[in-house]
Each structure stands twice: as C-alpha cells, then as structure tokens.
Structure 1
Amino acid sequence: MKVSESLELRNGITLKNRFFKSAMSETMANGRNQPGEKHVRLYHEWAKGGAGVVVTGNVMVDRNALGEPGNVVIEDEKDMDILKRWAEKGTEYDTHLWMQINHPGKQSPKTMSKEPVAPSAIPMGEALKGAFNPPRALENGEIKSLVERYVKTAEVAKKAGFTGVQIHGAHGYLVNQFLSPHDNRRDDEYGGDLENRMRFLMEIYKGMRRVLGETFPISLKLNSSDFNQEGFTEAESIAVVEKMADMGLDLIEISGGNYKQPKMSTGTDSEVFFLDYAQKLKEKVDILVVVTGGFRSKESMEAALEKGHTDMIGIARPMALDPHLPNRIMSDDYEKMTTRRLTTGIKGLDEKMGPAVGNVYYAMQLKRIAEGKETQQHTNAWRPLLHLIATHGPQALKPKRRKRR
C-alpha cells in the first residue's frame, strides 16, 4: 500500500508513512491561552493513530491578536513544561509533530480585537463588518517585530521537542494578507509587486531557518488562490512556492479561500480539493506537496499517490471523528468515511450558520477525544450552535468562513 510507505524530506529526515494530519483548531487553551493536559491527551491519541505527520492547530504569536477563543499563544518559554509534555506524547510511535504558527491579522473578531492590524487598513467587507472591527495598517517597525515573534515561537517549539513547524500562509490570515494585492496596498518594501508582498513570508522563513538549523523541517500552508479577482492568484501562488522551494522549504500544504471567499475546490471533478492545482505545481517545482481536503476513500488516496499528484494524504475532519484512522486504513479495516452535513432543520439558519457550526462540532469532537470519550457522529446542529452562541454571544450569528485550519 503506497500510503504506508515512508517518505524522505529534502533535509534527509524520514517520515514513517504518507498520512498528514492537517491542522484543526482545538480551542482548548485556558484563559491565559496556555495549552494543557487536554492537548497532551488529544495529540497522544493522534500519535497512536498512526499518521506520519500531525500538525497542531493555530498557535498564535501574539496574545493580543487571537483568531478565536481558546487559541494557544506562545510568546516565550514560560509554558515550557507543558509544551515538553505535549511534544513528548505527540511524537511517540515515531510520529512527527509540527507546530502551526500563525497571526490572524485583521481576521480577529470583534470579541477578540478592538483594533486588529493588517498590511493595509482594508476592512473585511460589507457582509462581515458586523463581526470584525476595521484594521489599522502596521507600521514598518511593527512588521519586523512580528517577524521576530514568528521566529521566537518556532524556536520555542524546537526547544520543547516538536519535530517541525508550519507557517500558516493561507485562509486570509496575516501572511496571506501580505501576499494578497487586495489586502496589501502598501507602498514600502512590503507592498507593491509580488516580490515585495512575499517579503514578510520570506523574512519569517529566513529567521526560522537561522534559529532552527538546516535540517529542522519547515513547511508552509498556502492558498492555491484567494478565489478573488483582486486577490492572490494561482500564478502568484506558484511563483511563491518556486521561490520558497529555492530557499530550502521542506514541504508545501495546499489550501485556499478565506472568510470572504470560503471555497475549498478549484473545480476538479475529483472528490479531492486542489488536486488539479497540485498537479500543476509538481510539474514546476521540486518540493514535497500535500493536498488536504476531500480524501474519503482508500482508493482515492492510493490513486493520488500512485499518479504522483500528491506526496502525502492530508486529512483533517475525518481524524476528528476517528483519531486512529491511518492505522485502520493501513490494516485494511476501512472503506470510506462520510462526514455528514449538520442541520437545524431550518434551511435559512443552516445556510447562514452551517460553516461556523461545523467548526464547533468538530472542535467538540476533539475535546471528547482529549477527555477519553468516544466521538459523537450525528447531524443535529443545535448543540454546536448553542455552544457557539454561548461562547461568542450575539456575534456568533454573524457570517463565518468555511475552512480548514
């Protein structure tokens, strides 16, 4: 079985198989944004589950810039003890545990930020103004300080025992905002043409490589496109990957969309999102590529690997329902998983709240795994909807994105 074969990164490190557990936001940090024993237990279950690589949910670099309640924040080494436990349990069974490092930029809800920051003072848009405050443009010196925050978080991750990091450059978060000509209208060295717009990402990568060393895995999650004529395009995405590959990036995970354009597919007839883009990318760039989203059958996973369309199988939500899914597939105890659509029974409410409710539903399953409970697979949207309202108040009824973390 191709998916059970090992894979070598360009830095010589070997991954035990081709399963890549993509990031999902756990929202389990305490009121001080610290990880705890629930993180330890959840990631230990995923390590036991058999994936070659497990990526954490959003770890934010600034306590004053959160994407949602319950985000873990790492600004320094004060939580090193629990981070070491998290890394120790998450790397058992020869599992790689990579920390996803992020900053929301202007995608920080009103409940989180009175004045979010962004490359330029471009608001989220008319449909989302009720949920997000208008951002202010970052000053040049602030950008350089943010770069160092990303680098510091990566340095702490390595010291704690995580075996890799992932820069989140997708889904409309800060790195993606810098890359997008719609969101980035600066006229200094961080704005203008693509070379300048990718400078923030390049400086983050260079800083991380400086403190992490040449053999420590650094990956990037990147949009194939923003699906917006004024935004980050597929051609620009390929150009960014080419540049990052030349700089020594180890792996690229493909995704797409943002709050305003929550698309997860580029139009392929395959059940797998972004597979057509990944094929184009692999024809141009010598870098390991992971496609995440839509893999449900063992046959589609094997076909994508055999044809060389992806180097690893990215899975997210199915592993929130069955944390041991990779082992089940490799032991031939699996056919196909269906992630069913949640419903309140009210069409208009489902259309408005469906994506946000889905995110809460899967976060609730992660908490159950962390508490040693069985996951609950159902289609009733009322419990996650009520949980969402209890957490966010009236802001919960504002539009939210449909996305993977």
Structure 2
Amino acid sequence: MKTLFDETTINPMKLKNRIIRSATWEGLAGSDGHLTDRLFKVYETLAQGGVGLIITGGTYFTPDSTTLPGMPGIYSDSLIDDYRRFTNMVHGSGCPIIMQLAYSGKGGEMWTPASPTRNDIKLIVKAFGEGADRAKAAGFDGVQIHAAHGYFLSQFLDPQKNIRQDEYGGVIENRARIILEIYDEIRNKTGSDFNIFIKINGTDAGDEVAGFNSCRYTCLELASRGINAIEISGGADELKNCMNHPYPESIFRNYAARIAAEVKVPIILVGFNRTPAVMEEILNTSAIEYFSLSRPLLREPNLVNKWRNDSNSEAECISCNACFRTDGNMCVFV
C-alpha cells in the first residue's frame, strides 16, 4: 500500500514524501523582482515544515512581463546570486525546489492569444528557455511552466479564447504549439537532468469536454517529449465555485486520474487537498502519485509535519480566500 510519506524520486530529485507546495502568488518581492527578507522567511518556514517539494510562486523572466505586484523576477543574470543563496537555504532543510515560470503579458497588461505577433511568440519561447537556464544556474531543481488558471498560455488551449488564424490557433495541434515549443526550448537549454514540470487545467468551466481534450492532447505530447511531472488543476471559475464539484475536496481528481492512466509521467493533483485519508485513497485507487496545496500552508507552514505525526489531524484552512491581501498573500488568522 502506498502512503503520502513514501520516499520517491523524480529525475533524480529525491522527495521525502508525496506532498508538494503548489505555486501561489506571495506579493513579497521587491519592485525590481529581487528577493526580500520577508520572502526568504516564507520559504525557510515552508522548507522546515515538512513538504516533499516546493514550487515557487510565479516568476517573471523578461523585464517588462510582471503583471502582479511583488512578483519575483529571473529576467537578468544579476539576480542569480540572490537565488543561489535562496536555493541553498531551502536545500539546507532537505527540500528540493522548483521555480514556476509565468508569463501573462507586457507592461502590466494581461495578454490574450491575439496579442502577440509571430515574432513576439518566438521571443517569448526564447525567454522561457533563458529564464530556465538562469534557474538552473541558481541551483533550482527544475522549473514549472504555468499553463493553467486562464492566464496567457492557458488561453491558447481554449478554442473559445484562442481566435488566431495562423499556426498557433484553430485545431488543437496548433493551439498547443506554443507550449510544446516552450518545453523544447527549455529542454534544449537545460539538458535531460533538469526537471521540467507543467501546471495545466484538466478542464475549463466554459466547455468541460473541450477543456479536457485540450489538456489530454497537450499532456500526451509533453509526455512523449520527456516532461518530468504534470500538475493538473482547473479553471479559475471552478476553483472559486468548488461546491459545483462532486467532491468537497481534491476536486480535480477525476481529470487527473484520467490523464494519469494514459501517461507514464508523475501526475500531481492540486485543488482543495485537505485530508490525508482522502489523498491516500486516491493514491491507492488511481495512478496519481503526488498532491499539491498552497493555502493550507499559508495558515500552517508546518502542516505536513503535523500530518506525519497525526494523519487524522485536520488542516485549519477554511478556504475563505481572505489571504489575498494587498500587502502580501498571508493568512488572516496567523
């Protein structure tokens, strides 16, 4: 029987358990994308709290692509030394760390698939590779491509939002093209020993069938290319309206299980993971191998250590969303 606290490896990163801190916006970096003491402290506490792997909040990798306040940046080699100190601190607690690379637009404007020219897309693809290369130089164990939650890359997969008439729009082979090109660019820049993950919607509220089919095609293509792990999430509207789901927690389990049954790649399930017993049941009745969460760790950074000592203990997070504050993403009850 598999358990949440099995030790596992992902290319060849060692994880002390199957619980992952999922990416979330912290809003605590400097205005120039540099790391701050407050951000260091957040990750130091997370690393000591027992998670098997940390995925950072979305990080911007071109100087003009920050769209949320307080986003960390990896757009210049001058940032690498800060991150080396950062990754050394996290690794010192026995925890690997993945940097999420996120692209939403330019100059504070949220882009849609219609926004970039073909040349813009080439530059974005190249910049993803450069950002990943800097992350590797800074000591990260890998990067995650953010292609979920209705942001720029997620919209390319949505036939209702992607109205392009060129090789990046229309049929799914075209709509997924930018993501596959980004993966190939990162892999070419960083080599086979560097982890590449993706976060992708298993479905979208607008069209469940089309959303899942887009996810399935993209995951199968990425698996054939050698991606190291896939995190399955869902549309932002669904995350806000979780009561519409057949499960009160681990809400995207059906989509993740269907993908996990078809790809020989570790699948990470995110979305209201709250109870160890529920996660272990999913672990042993599907091919899903990992579980990620973020908001419960805002309230209890030591939650995984608590679960290790008492698997029947409940997470204190009540999913109220009051943690999304202008002064940073922090639980109001702490």
Structure-1-length-normalised TM-score: 0.76
Amino acid corresponding to residue 63 of structure 2 in structure 1: R
CA deviation after TM superposition for structure 1 residue 306, in Å: 2.1
CA offsets, 1:72-117, max 9 Å, x none? Answer: 1221211122111111112223211000001113xx8xxx63x543
Instruction: Provide the C-alpha distance between the structure 1 equivalents of 2:63 and 2:244, rounded to a whole number of angstroms.
Output: 34
Q: Which residue of 1 aligns with 2:118?
A: 140
For the structure 1 residues 152 and 265, does the alpha-carbon distance in structure 2 shift closer, same or farther, using more than 3 Å as the test?
farther
Q: Which residue of 2 aligns with 1:377?
A: 333
Q: Which residue of 1 aligns with 2:270?
A: 292
Contact 1:40 1:90 (8 Å CA) reproduced: no
Name which of 117, 135, 151 aligns with 2:111.
117
Is 1:359 aligned with 2:324? Answer: yes
Q: Which residue of 2 aligns with 1:133?
A: none
CA deviation after TM superposition for structure 1 residue 376, in Å: 4.9
Amino acid corresponding to residue 64 of structure 2 in structure 1: N
Is 1:248 aligned with 2:226? Answer: yes
Aligned pairs for 1:16-27 (under 5 A) are 16-27=16-27
Aligned pairs for 1:182-331 (under 5 A) are 182-229=160-207, 233-258=211-236, 262-263=240-241, 267-269=245-247, 271-331=249-309
Instruction: Provide the C-alpha distance between the structure 1 equivalents of 2:42 and 2:290, rounded to a whole number of angstroms.
Output: 22
Instruction: Provide the C-alpha distance between the structure 1 equivalents of 2:208 and 2:332, rounded to a whole number of angstroms.
Output: 41
Query: Looking at CA atoms only, which structure, 1 or 2, has the larger radius of gyration?
Result: 1
Instruction: Provide the C-alpha distance between the structure 1 equivalents of 2:292 and 2:252, rounded to a whole number of angstroms.
Output: 11
Give the stretch that moved more between structures: 78-87 or 154-163: 78-87
Instruction: Provide the C-alpha distance between the structure 1 equivalents of 2:150 and 2:245, rounded to a whole number of angstroms.
Output: 20
For the structure 1 residues 194 and 333, does the alpha-carbon distance in structure 2 shift closer, same or farther, using more than 3 Å as the test?
closer
SS in 1 for 2:264: coil
Instruction: Provide the C-alpha distance between the structure 2 equivalents of 1:299 and 1:242, rounded to a whole number of angstroms.
Output: 30
SS in 1 for 2:4: helix
For the structure 1 residues 265 and 249, does the alpha-carbon distance in structure 2 shift closer, same or farther, using more than 3 Å as the test?
farther
CA deviation after TM superposition for structure 1 residue 298, in Å: 2.2
Give the stretch that moved more between structures: 84-93 or 261-270: 261-270
For the structure 1 residues 143 and 312, does the alpha-carbon distance in structure 2 shift closer, same or farther, using more than 3 Å as the test?
same
| Structure 2: segments with no counterpart, 5+ residues | none
Q: Which residue of 2 aligns with 1:6?
A: 7
Contact 2:306 2:313 (8 Å CA) reproduced: no
CA deviation after TM superposition for structure 1 residue 12, in Å: 3.9
Contact 1:90 1:97 (8 Å CA) reproduced: yes
Cα RMSD between the aligned structures?
Answer: 2.4
SS in 2 for 1:28: coil
Instruction: Provide the C-alpha distance between the structure 1 equivalents of 2:208 and 2:64, rounded to a whole number of angstroms.
Output: 29
SS in 2 for 1:254: strand
Q: Which residue of 1 aligns with 2:96?
A: 96
CA deviation after TM superposition for structure 1 residue 23, in Å: 0.8
Instruction: Provide the C-alpha distance between the structure 1 equivalents of 2:174 and 2:253, rounded to a whole number of angstroms.
Output: 28
SS in 2 for 1:63: coil
CA offsets, 1:121-163, max 9 Å, x none? Answer: xxxxxxxxxxxxxxxx211111100111111111111100111
Amino acid corresponding to residue 281 of structure 2 in structure 1: A
Contact 1:119 1:184 (8 Å CA) reproduced: yes
Instruction: Provide the C-alpha distance between the structure 1 equivalents of 2:38 and 2:239, rounded to a whole number of angstroms.
Output: 33
For the structure 1 residues 296 and 234, does the alpha-carbon distance in structure 2 shift closer, same or farther, using more than 3 Å as the test?
same
Identity over the aligned pairs, expressed in percent?
Answer: 28
Aligned residue-pair number? 333
CA offsets, 1:33-80, max 9 Å, x none? Answer: 222222222111111111111010010123323231111122121112
Give the stretch that moved more between structures: 209-218 or 303-312: 303-312
Q: Which residue of 2 aligns with 1:55?
A: 55
CA offsets, 1:263-302, max 9 Å, x none? Answer: 5577333521101111211222211111112222221122
For the structure 1 residues 104 and 259, does the alpha-carbon distance in structure 2 shift closer, same or farther, using more than 3 Å as the test?
farther
Amino acid corresponding to residue 162 of structure 1 in structure 2: F
Structure-2-length-normalised TM-score: 0.91
